[in-house]
Amino acid sequence: MQMSKRRFLVLAPMSVAALALGLAQAKPARKEKVIKVEARKFRFAPNLIELKKGEAVVLELTAVDFPHGFSVPELKVRADLVMGKTVQVRLQPQEEGQFTFLCDNFCGSGHEEMAGTIVVKA
Ligand SMILES: [Cu+2]
């Protein structure tokens, strides 16, 4: 797999400067799709996430019972999930395919089963 195909974009926060310039009524520069994902022993819900190629999304991850990890090795995305806090992960997949995500913080017997799939379609 080529490096360029693996790239994903981390989106900048909406420009505060634009608002200061009186553009508050303008449409937001970017519209991100928000997908909530819950992590608990030993599964993610949902464990199937379907995305469109090039679509900007925010995964809002919540660890329910343990400080799990969230990793998508092929998309070079990972985050530590903190209990009681929503952790945002932004991505914009540039490649179609199926990408496994998993918990990479050992959370007990069953940890190895804690995984899911991101499906990216055109
Ligand atoms: Cu885990």
- Which domains does the chain show, CATH number per domain? 7-121 (2.60.40.420)
- Residues 37/77, Cβ–Cβ less than 8 Å: no
pLDDT value at residue 25: 46
Name which of 80, 79, 100, 99 is nearest 90 in CA terms.
Answer: 79
Name which of 68, 52, 67, 83 is nearest 116 in CA terms.
Answer: 68
pLDDT value at residue 11: 41
d(CA 23, CA 104): 42
pLDDT at position 29 over 70: no
Of the pLDDT bands very low, low, confident and very high (cuts 50, 70, 90), residue 30 is: low
**pTM score of the predicted model:** 0.74
Could you tell me the distance, in angstroms and rounded to a whole number, from the CA of residue 118 to the centre of ligand 1?
A: 17
pLDDT at position 120 over 60: yes
pLDDT value at residue 10: 42
Of the pLDDT bands very low, low, confident and very high (cuts 50, 70, 90), residue 84 is: confident
**Which segments of the chain does DSSP mark as H helices, in order?**
3-6, 16-20
Could you tell me the distance, in angstroms and rounded to a whole number, from the CA of residue 102 to the centre of ligand 1?
A: 8
Could you tell me the distance, in angstroms and rounded to a whole number, from the CA of residue 65 to the centre of ligand 1?
A: 9
Could you tell me the distance, in angstroms and rounded to a whole number, from the CA of residue 58 to the centre of ligand 1?
A: 21
Name which of 51, 49, 13, 50 is nearest 30 in CA terms.
Answer: 13
Backbone angles phi, psi at 16, to 5 degrees: -70, -35
